[in-house]
């Protein structure tokens, strides 16, 4: 018999069924929130994986299309690889949970969240985060939980807890906060320039809810939890550390890591490692963990230097940003390009513009977001960190960094009505030594402006780090962390925004949470650094968006037609519109409300396409003057095509003022003529006159 537990959460009932399904997993919870249903499981291998120096955690968020009553699109009518949304959700679950597993645990752990039903009022992502925590907490897998997660929206100045899909569409804030019992452990946010104080208030509003949920989870664990299993620790023996310190004294390790050149530091550590390998050649059991031991020795050295001596590895002050540089137009012929350099981190972003028809189509569980016109893609090749490995396409990290930059820039983009383009930015990492995602935001801001995208305000991003001591009060926040400070520190707190507020946050930590003073100081520091980057670098490189798109970017003309005339413009089976496209070489998009976008690179052809569309969509009146081409000659007259698929007849008596016997006496096929509209004849056809067109008459239609 299974057990069921319930609590009220943000106006809906959260119900957890234990021992109902998936009993062979180490832990499983069938989660219900409103009508949203998710199966969350936690499974661990019996033995540690050999030959690794990391904790092998895998988190999966599986979107089942039946959950929203859909059959997957495409030829293969079953779910394939995870969508970007699923990957991002998996990352959001992974980040708060990973630090709560033992650092020396090497057993494979897999957390699977299978979305089986989606209620638009109840977010499945939040339910999956709670399900993963509950499944792991009640299992026998070592885990220092529970943790909980809550989402917060902001509508008309009011905070909304766990907003529905409809509420998210109009919310100025999309915030997810995960917490342990006492501290915040993960923050992810997208925002429409939300002020720092309001963001902090929202974070701790979510934390309060998380504490209530953790109390609920405690009751489940008390009744259903299994004893945690023992495991073989992979911790480095203390006697090895002592032996290493005897060969490499702390002051020598300090000297080895104290440099602003990443390659020099790596060479120094490689030389030290080689010496230790020679010294321990007779101790194979030590050689197996030597790499981890050297890593730990570096970590302790760097943390001591920073926390106790306030001395950073590259010699900077605690609040100092690395040297900055920026430039635009570094790549010819593309629609927009810019490069941003911060120390040894260098990003080049290229912007491409296209008609709205090239917006990305989405096939997922979100019924509101079916496409997106702005796409930010981030690439991280191995050469950027001096390594060699083949490219296998974007991994979860690349997808996550691209999504973060995308989220940071969306609030400042013009609307489709203001700028009718699909926009793609691609950030190429040329060099990496910390916080490339934030550098890509800076490069993208400049690239968009260089491409003539009228963004509302420039956006900059920066990251803060953290080193903590033995107590909550013993800590130091670092502005603009480089790679070494990220690897050996406790936090990577990324914040992007404008002069007026925050547009995106992503916080990763390696410890069991942050106190409120740390969160507040990190947000304050990132604001100071962001203001400096915006004022002293970005705005001095390119002060505002260029007034028009570049010569190699497509141009777009927009007109409006009567929606009832759309069928005339499209024609039977698309014949008319395809004819216009073939004649002019443009792309044409028509929305259901009659907005027509004509996209091309040749202004003359675009204007011709516009003329054709307007003619077809016009209700003609007597007296209007049109231009056309003779396409057919009969005994009684000639037919003049004035737009693709649109013809009118000129009777033989309406061609010239004097009487003629044959149409061919005055007209031949292909002649271009001006005609005057006489209305419709008895057969409902457009009737034209050539002889009644004044000599100096201008075309009045099209």
Per CATH, 3-163+192-224 and 625-689 having the same topology is answered: no
Q: What mean pLDDT, rounded, does the chain reach? A: 92
Provide the sign of the torsion angle of the four alpha carbons 403, 405, 408, 413, taken in this order.
negative
pLDDT of residue 208: 97
**Where do the domains of the chain lie?**
3-163+192-224, 238-309, 324-541, 555-616, 625-689
pLDDT of residue 163: 96
Read off the pLDDT band of 701 (50, 70, 90): low
Q: Report whether pLDDT(368) > 70.
A: no
pLDDT of residue 319: 95
- Each residue of 297-330: pLDDT tens digit? 988 888 988 988 898 988 899 999 999 999 999 9
For 494-544, the DSSP string reads EEEE-SS-EEEEEEEESSS-B-HHHHHHHHHHHHHHHHHHIIIIIHHH--S
Q: Find the mean pLDDT for residues 361-382.
A: 83
Q: Find the mean pLDDT for residues 328-341.
A: 97
Top-confidence residue, 452 or 470: 452
pLDDT of residue 168: 93
Cα 627 versus chain centre, distance:
49
User: Which one is the CATH code of 3-163+192-224: 3.30.230.70, 3.30.540.10, 3.40.30.10, 3.40.50.10190?
Assistant: 3.30.230.70
Q: Report whether pLDDT(439) > 90.
A: yes
Q: For 555-616, which CATH superfamily applies?
A: K Homology domain, type 1 (3.30.1370.10)
Cα 212 versus chain centre, distance:
31
Alpha-carbon span 130 to 16, nearest angstrom? 10
Q: Find the mean pLDDT for residues 428-451.
A: 96
Q: Considering the chain, what percentage of its residues have pLDDT values greater than 70?
A: 99
Read off the pLDDT band of 369 (50, 70, 90): low
Would the pTM count as exceeding 0.85? yes
pLDDT of residue 180: 96
Q: Report whether pLDDT(678) > 90.
A: no
Beta pairing class for 421-431 and 374-379: parallel
Q: Distance between the two ends of the chain, CA-based, in angstroms?
A: 76
238-309 has which CATH code?
A: 1.10.10
Q: Find the mean pLDDT for residues 436-448.
A: 97
pLDDT of residue 25: 97
625-689 has which CATH code?
A: 2.40.50.140
- Each residue of 42-73: pLDDT tens digit? 999 999 998 888 899 999 999 999 998 988 87
pLDDT of residue 232: 86
Q: Report whether pLDDT(702) > 60.
A: no
Q: What CATH class does 324-541 carry? A: alpha beta
Q: Report whether pLDDT(598) > 60.
A: yes
Q: Which letter does DSSP use for residue 87 in this model?
A: H
Q: Report whether pLDDT(377) > 70.
A: yes
Read off the pLDDT band of 223 (50, 70, 90): very high
Angle CA(157)–CA(160)–CA(165) in degrees, nearest 5?
Answer: 115
Please report, for residues 37, 87, 161, 177, 523, the alpha-carbon distance to residue 15 in angstroms, rounded to integers and kept in the order given: 10, 25, 18, 21, 35
pLDDT of residue 367: 59
């Amino acid at each position: 018999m299974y057990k069921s537990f319930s609590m009220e959460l943000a106006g809906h009932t959260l119900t957890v069924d234990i021992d109902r399904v998936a009993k062979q997993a180490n832990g499983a919870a069938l989660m219900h929130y409103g009508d949203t249903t998710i199966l969350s499981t936690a499974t661990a291998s019996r033995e540690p994986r050999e030959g690794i120096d990391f904790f092998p955690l895998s988190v999966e968020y599986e979107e089942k299309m039946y959950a929203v009553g859909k059959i997957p699109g495409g030829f293969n009518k079953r779910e394939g690889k995870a969508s970007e949304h699923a990957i991002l959700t998996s990352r959001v679950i992974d980040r708060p949970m990973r630090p709560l597993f033992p650092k020396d645990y090497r057993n494979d752990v897999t957390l699977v969240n299978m979305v089986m039903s989606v209620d638009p009022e109840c977010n499945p992502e939040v339910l999956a985060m709670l399900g993963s925590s509950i499944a792991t907490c009640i299992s026998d897998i070592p885990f220092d939980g529970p943790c909980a997660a809550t989402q917060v929206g902001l509508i008309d100045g009011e905070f909304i807890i766990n907003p529905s899909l409809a509420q998210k569409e109009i919310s100025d804030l999309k915030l997810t906060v995960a917490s342990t019992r006492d501290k915040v452990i993960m923050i992810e946010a997208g925002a429409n320039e939300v002020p720092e104080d309001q963001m902090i208030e929202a974070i701790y509003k979510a934390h309060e809810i998380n504490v209530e949920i953790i109390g609920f989870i405690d009751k489940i664990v008390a009744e259903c939890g299994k004893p945690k299993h023992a495991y073989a620790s992979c911790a480095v023996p203390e006697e090895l550390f002592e032996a290493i310190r005897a060969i490499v004294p702390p002051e020598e390790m300090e000297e080895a890591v104290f440099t602003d050149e990443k390659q020099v530091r790596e060479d120094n550590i490689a030389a030290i490692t080689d010496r230790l390998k020679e010294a321990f050649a007779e101790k194979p059991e030590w050689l197996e963990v030597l790499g981890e031991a050297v890593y730990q020795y570096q970590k302790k050295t760097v943390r001591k230097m920073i926390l106790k001596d306030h001395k950073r590895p590259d010699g900077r002050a605690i609040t100092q940003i690395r040297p900055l540089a920026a430039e635009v137009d570094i790549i010819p012929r593309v629609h927009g390009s810019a490069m941003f350099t911060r120390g040894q981190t260098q990003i080049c972003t290229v912007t491409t513009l296209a008609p709205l028809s090239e917006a990305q189509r989405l096939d997922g569980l979100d019924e509101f977001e079916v496409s997106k016109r702005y796409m930010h893609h981030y690439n991280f090749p191995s050469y950027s960190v001096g390594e060699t490995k083949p490219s296998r396409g974007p991994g979860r990290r690349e997808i996550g960094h691209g999504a973060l930059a995308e989220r940071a820039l969306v609030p400042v983009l013009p609307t489709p009505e203001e700028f009718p383009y699909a926009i793609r930015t691609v950030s190429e990492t040329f060099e990496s030594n910390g916080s490339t995602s934030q550098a890509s935001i800076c490069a993208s801001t400049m690239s968009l402006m260089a491409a003539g995208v009228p963004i509302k305000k420039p956006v900059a991003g920066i990251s803060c780090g953290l080193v903590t001591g033995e107590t909550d009060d013993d800590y130091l926040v670092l502005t603009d962390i480089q790679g070494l400070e990220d690897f050996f520190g406790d936090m990577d707190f990324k914040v992007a925004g404008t002069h007026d507020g925050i547009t995106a946050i992503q916080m990763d930590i390696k410890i069991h949470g942050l106190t409120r003073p740390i969160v507040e100081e990190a947000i304050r520091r990132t604001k100071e650094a962001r203001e400096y980057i915006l004022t002293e670098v970005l705005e001095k490189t390119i002060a505002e968006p260029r007034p028009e798109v570049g010569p190699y970017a497509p141009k777009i003309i927009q007109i409006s037609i009567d929606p009832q005339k759309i069928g005339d413009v499209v024609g039977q089976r698309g014949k008319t519109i395809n004819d216009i496209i073939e004649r002019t070489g443009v792309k044409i998009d028509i929305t259901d409300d009659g907005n027509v976008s004509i996209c091309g690179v040749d202004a003359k052809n675009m204007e011709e396409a516009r003329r054709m569309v307007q003619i077809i969509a016009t209700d003609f009146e007597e007296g209007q003057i049109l231009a056309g081409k003779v396409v057919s000659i009969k005994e009684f007259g000639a037919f003049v095509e004035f737009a693709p698929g649109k013809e009118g007849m000129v009777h033989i008596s309406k061609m010239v003022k004097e009487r003629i016997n044959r149409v061919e006496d005055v007209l031949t096929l292909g002649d271009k003529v001006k005609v005057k509209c006489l209305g419709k004849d008895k057969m409902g056809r457009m009737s034209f006159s050539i002889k009644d067109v004044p000599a100096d008459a201008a075309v009045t239609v099209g």
